[in-house]
Amino acid sequence: MTTQRPVVVYGASGFSGRLVAEFLREYNVPFIAAGRNRAKIEDVMKHVPGIETADYEIVEVGNTFDELVNLLRGTRVVCNTVGPFMYHGPTVIAAALKAGCHYLDISGEQTWIREVSEKWGEKFAERGLLAAPATAFMSAISDAAIRLCLETGAIDTIETVTLFKGIPTFGSTQTIFAVIQTDAHYLEQNRYKPWPRATRYDVAVPGYVESQLALAWGGFPQPVWFKNHPAVANVKSFGGLLDRQIMEGVAATEKMFEEQIRTLPKPEQEKKLAEMASAVQAGTPPRENAREQRTIDVVAGRGSTDYVQCVIFGTCCYRQTGLIQAFVAHSLVRSDPRKRGFASAAEAFGHRELLRILESHGLSKVKLNS
């Protein structure tokens, strides 16, 4: 392995990993496609559009701390796509810190975001490094939209809804089920408050006549990002799929977990949730279709007298994730982030810049009303 390629895509054989590779190729960023199975990575890379023009190499690596340190040493940034991150994230981020490289991932689990903030933020800041989990569609877009809303007036209360239509990948499905066991929190007067368990919420979404079903889904990262914000005191975030039948199934699973599984030992809880997730999605979904896989983010902001709403209509949530990862990695290769330590992509590289890059690729469009 050489050290001239500055970016590592860890989990390159996965659905999201290949999309990160696709956009890194577009940015002309040399990268290492890494994972546990070289043959699988080779097969996946062959199907990445235009990969023959990319500067990359494939490295087979185990998921132990020492192996990952050796992989990351001499590189600039790791794009970690191996979830659920509450299980697999600690080893990778520890290796990134030891190796002295920036850390990105595509997570969304609030419990993991809090761990990165509370355990790793200061350590990365001391080394002049960025730790930016949840650099992905499911949270980064609404985070950027929140910051856009804050420019319009005295806003202290935020609610966000993130929904997408599509087929969740194997990793996403495993994460959806894994977070059921965790305690979700929202932000009230800058303090974490627990969401009631196994509770469903009907939300009104612009562009749709019928109401949509959303869940707290582990709490989302936004309350963590704005925990110590000087203006924002209250944050609630919801999300889910633009498919009521699937969401009804997830809500029913949450209820069943509380009634039948939560009392079991932790390892048994994790085993049963993983088995249920595998029964729902065990394969790789097809490439996204822009006419079918739509997305929407709604951010509502309130102050004492001010109000603002930002709606972002988009398409292909996994392609958005691949682009965001590649944009941030490309930026880190060429310059330092605006903030070191624990930060969101919007904090580290600018919310307007993040939204602009998505719009330039035809993946989203912002509508702001105040």
Q: Residue 195 — φ and ψ, nearest 5°?
A: -70, 145
**Per-residue confidence (pLDDT) for residue 195, from 0 to 100:** 96
Mean pLDDT calculated for residue range 200-228: 94
**Dihedral angle, C-alpha 148, 153, 154, 160, nearest 10 °:** -40
pLDDT digits (tens, 9 = 90+) for 219-247: 999 999 999 999 999 999 999 999 998 89
**Per-residue confidence (pLDDT) for residue 132, from 0 to 100:** 98
pLDDT digits (tens, 9 = 90+) for 144-197: 999 999 999 999 999 999 999 988 888 888 888 889 999 999 999 999 999 999
Non-local (6+) Cβ contacts of 94 within 8 A are: 65
Between strands 307-315 and 294-302, the pairing is antiparallel
Q: Which two tokens stand for residue 254?
A: 């949450």
Q: Which parts of the chain fold into alpha helices (H)?
A: 15-26, 38-46, 65-72, 85-99, 110-115, 121-126, 137-150, 170-178, 222-225, 244-256, 266-280, 317-334, 345-349, 351-360
- This prediction has a pTM of 0.95
| Beta-bridge mates of residue 191 | 188
Side-chain-facing half-sphere of 61: CA atoms under 13 Å: 26
Q: Is the pLDDT of residue 272 over 60?
A: yes
Mean pLDDT calculated for residue range 264-278: 89
**Per-residue confidence (pLDDT) for residue 187, from 0 to 100:** 98
pLDDT digits (tens, 9 = 90+) for 323-344: 999 999 999 999 999 999 999 9
**Per-residue confidence (pLDDT) for residue 282, from 0 to 100:** 59
Confidence of residue 281 (pLDDT cuts 50, 70, 90): low
Q: Angle 170-178/266-280 helices, nearest 10 degrees?
A: 140
Confidence of residue 278 (pLDDT cuts 50, 70, 90): confident
Mean pLDDT calculated for residue range 252-274: 91
pLDDT digits (tens, 9 = 90+) for 294-309: 999 999 999 999 999 9
Mean pLDDT calculated for residue range 44-69: 96
Q: Which two tokens stand for residue 285?
A: 């979904």
